[in-house]
Structure 1
Amino acid sequence: MGAAGSRLEKALGDQFPEGERYFGLENYGNTCYCNSVLQALYFCVPFREQLLDYYANNKKPGDAEENILTCLADLFTQINSQKKKTGVIAPRRFVQRVKKQNEIFRGYMHQDAHEFLNFLLNELVDILEKESNAVKSSPETSPSEKIANGPKNPEANGVNKEPLVTWVHKNFQGILTNETRCLRCETVTARDETFLDLSLDIEQNSSITSCLKNFSSTETLHAEDKFFCDKCCSLQEAQKRMKIKKPPQVLVIHLKRFKYIEHLSRYKKLSYRVVFPLELKLSNTMEDTDSEYSLFAVVVHVGIGPNHGHYVSLVKSHDHWLCFDDDNVEMIDESAVQTFFGSANEYTNNTDHGYILFYESLAANGKS
């Protein structure tokens, strides 16, 4: 990235952010799915800072067993502590650890970036929860580490135990409410469930706002889909809808661009044009007030199908937009982001489409 790095430094000039680093990641044979997600997470500033803090506070002897969390913390620390402002980092240890941990990502096949993101976040949560459980009996454990993050989970001995909230939860976890209203007695049954990202069905020439509206639209349950009402003690017609009860600090939206076509017995990529705004309001999906978000990263899928292609990341950092394409990093204009909305026509040469969107809460940032 030598020439590209110097071009990037030249383009930013005096505006190069103090203390920031823009490093590409080496590709180890179709590991762009990993690199693109890592760049989006690195520029999720609160997540990055907490990961760097974790590394600083949990340095272990060289013979200590490593895991995905320690490898990721080490990688982010490597990038953050570089003397140069730009360059290329080789995420070899992290990639090797991912492949060792999950056979899906072994070999050199094209993988799904969303599947990798889900695996990574859940793996980080599992590790942090195990570490918290290991020290929960310590008198040094603070009460704030024991805040509930959702519905109580019954223990095997019948005692209700509230799960710990990790800093991964604090960044990405929101709560959905699944409401079902019996049309005979009008009783509303509500069930809460947590999420780390929202997967949205998409339609041609639509927008994130309309996709979210459809996600929260009311569905009538009738015929063989009737709902068993506890008050009526029988199956009844009902209305069901999903709402966001508690929005996350970082809202991750996954666009379902890969659809299984039964008569073809395979998945097809939907190149639909879906407009994703730089500023997003959760108005139709929230229970009470609006929540405002700002777009800071987009994982883009390049290609015509799910089994072949490439991933790049668009990232907003200090009011500048950059494109991270494995080991290459370039500045782009903000207006270029809209070229990744998708295609208005089914048959097109444009194969670069927004796939995973990362929005940060303006309230959490103190901007609203």
Structure 2
Amino acid sequence: MSARPTTPASPKNVRVKSPVPGLPMFGCEHIQLLLSKNQEVMNSSITHYKLILRGIFDATPIVPQTSTLDGRPVTSLTSNYLCLQCPSTVTEEERLRHGTKKQHRFYVDSRSGCLYCQICDDYIWDPTLEELRVRKIGTGSFSGRKRKHDELFTGSFKDDPRFISSNTNTASCRANGLRGIYNAGATCYQNVVLQSFLHNPLLRNFYLSDGHQSSDCQVSHCLSCAMDDMFQDFYALETTNGYTAANILSGFWISEKKAFENLVTTKEQDAHEFFQFLAEELHERNGDGKKPEIGSEHSCNCIMHQTFYGKMQTTTTCQNCSGQSNSIQSFLDLSLGLDNVVQKKSKRTGQKKPTVSLQDCLDEEYIKYDKCEYRCNNCNGTQQAKRHTSIKRLPNVLSIQLKRFEYKHGRHDRAASKVDNEVKFPLQLNMMPYTNRIRNHDSRESLELERSCTYDLLSVVVHVGELDTGHYTSYCRVGDQWFKFNDHKVELASLSDVLGAQAYLLFYIIRSLA
């Protein structure tokens, strides 16, 4: 993996001296047992604590969550607890259960950064960790000289205020889940979807906070258990080696779903179909057990519905009596055709291979009206009508497919081709013009409405090459940086690389949750 953030050096073998007489400088005897095990445990604990402090103080302490009330984001002012010994985040009620199950005893308050000992059942003041917290609050950074293992038993820390060594490295890329996935034989279409899930903050928070209880799951080859293991391995293990998604593959290959049986092959497949398959599987494992009906209003509170699902409204207007009928359907993603948009722009500009924009494709689907025949109940007969589709409720993460693979029926068979025109897509996407609320608001609500419909680009799935011999790669945003994932290879990417990619799938996250 090239151009990745530096990783901590391997722990050195340190000969621990006998403690000098005096009071050990620890917050309590329990944190002393943890930090005095060896230099490696002490280093990893301090590194993880610094990572937690960055997450707390470099962003708002108010935790965005998802409300079941019309899918609107709300905030929680209560503290959560970030485990010092693993990447889990738990509530106050879940803290005791997590500690009993994992034998983890130390947590960091999500608002103050203070250290809590579950055995003491109280917050503790540890000089080493507290110095880090005070420096982070005061200066926004960590500096100074790291205290050696044997120095923890001395009382000299007040004479030496620099506790962190000058050669302290930044948090490893492992802390951000940056790790490639090995290609197991034409499985790049799976790898790119898995990477987009791994860097989706809603899914990440769900799995790292014990959202799926793998230890209690009785399902054989459960894909949600496999996803849980993957998130733990990506965000907890100190390695940057490629990951083998064996459990994901086995759960996928033994699936009995007829709709996805064509994917069970060693040939290159469609990343969009795999995304739909994985979303359905994870819904069934984490939801109410019912198969999601894409064309229905079936409501589910599972993590997949909270993350990806929205609602669409189709309005049909009779041209004879102006009567209207509405139908509402749920959707997992928006599939936008390119062929018609390209042909219209080519005819208008005279260009053989014109560049189109994502907005052009959205306008074609959700701004323009279609003419159709319609059986009107008011007229009691078939009439000419206009049909318009708009979005009734936007999802927290908007998934968009650009339909680059076109299938045209010939006289004897069906011919497939790829639409490889450049499609411009933005970093920020305003979806307000495509909602049904755009027609039903006053000027005072405009600003608030626009904010609730603004998305930021989260990840991009790219298909390069021909239809049958192509390859999938992806770009994912981690903080303010973009990374390119090419199977097991991970590298820093520039913004121009991302925006110039031949996108096939786009994932946008609503700004209030970004």
Whether TM-score is above 0.5 comes out as yes
Q: 1:335 aligns with which of 479, 485, 496?
A: 496
Aligned equivalent of 2:199: 43
More RCO (CA 8 Å, sep 6+): 1
Q: 2:334 aligns with which of 180, 185, 198?
A: 198
1:64 offset after TM fit, Å? 5.5
Aligned equivalent of 2:440: none
What is the correspondence of 1:5-84 to structure 2 with a 5 Å cutoff?
A: 7-10=3-6, 14=170, 19-54=175-210, 57-60=213-216, 65-84=220-239
Output the CA distance in 1 between the equivalents of 2:462 and 2:171: 26
Aligned equivalent of 1:207: 357
User: Is 2:397–2:509's contact at 8 Å kept on the other side of the alignment?
Assistant: yes
Q: Larger Rg: 1 or 2? A: 2
Output the CA distance in 2 between the equivalents of 1:112 and 1:73: 24
Aligned equivalent of 1:230: 377
User: Is 2:283–2:289's contact at 8 Å kept on the other side of the alignment?
Assistant: no
Amino acid across the alignment from 2:191: N
Task: Look up the SS of the partner of 2:300 in the other structure.
Answer: coil
Shift in CA distance, 132/227, structure 1 to aligned 2, threshold 3 Å = closer
What is the correspondence of 1:280-319 to structure 2 with a 5 Å cutoff?
A: 280-288=429-437, 289-290=449-450, 291-305=453-467, 307-319=468-480
Aligned equivalent of 1:115: 273
Amino acid across the alignment from 1:35: N
Task: Look up the SS of the partner of 1:88 in the other structure.
Answer: coil
Output the CA distance in 2 between the equivalents of 1:129 and 1:358: 22
Question: Deviations for 1:105-155, whole angstroms, at most 9, x for unmatched residues?
Answer: 32310100001001110121122234599xxxxxxxxxxxxxxx99666xx
Alignment gaps of 5+ in structure 2: 9-168, 343-353, 438-448
The number of aligned residues is: 319
Identical residues among aligned pairs (%): 27
1:174 offset after TM fit, Å? 0.7
Question: Deviations for 1:201-259, whole angstroms, at most 9, x for unmatched residues?
Answer: 122421111111111133343xxx41011121111111111001111100000000001
Q: Aligned pair 1:93/2:89, yes or no?
A: no
Shift in CA distance, 170/281, structure 1 to aligned 2, threshold 3 Å = same
Output the CA distance in 1 between the equivalents of 2:219 and 2:311: 36
Output the CA distance in 1 between the equivalents of 2:276 and 2:219: 26
Aligned equivalent of 1:178: 314
Q: Aligned pair 1:106/2:260, yes or no?
A: no
Give the strand-richer structure, 1 or 2. 1
User: Is 1:55–1:77's contact at 8 Å kept on the other side of the alignment?
Assistant: no
Question: Deviations for 1:64-119, whole angstroms, at most 9, x for unmatched residues?
Answer: 523222212222222122123x2211111111211111532323101000010011
Shift in CA distance, 55/92, structure 1 to aligned 2, threshold 3 Å = farther
Amino acid across the alignment from 2:397: V
Output the CA distance in 1 between the equivalents of 2:455 and 2:319: 36
Question: Deviations for 1:179-214, whole angstroms, at most 9, x for unmatched residues?
Answer: 011111111111100111000012242111111111
Moved more, 168-177 or 68-77: 68-77
Amino acid across the alignment from 2:251: R
1:16 offset after TM fit, Å? 5.5
Output the CA distance in 1 between the equivalents of 2:301 and 2:216: 23
User: Is 1:17–1:318's contact at 8 Å kept on the other side of the alignment?
Assistant: no
TM-score, L = length of structure 2: 0.58
1:165 offset after TM fit, Å? 2.0
Output the CA distance in 1 between the equivalents of 2:512 and 2:487: 32
Task: Look up the SS of the partner of 2:433 in the other structure.
Answer: coil
Aligned equivalent of 2:101: none
Alignment gaps of 5+ in structure 1: 134-148, 154-162, 341-352
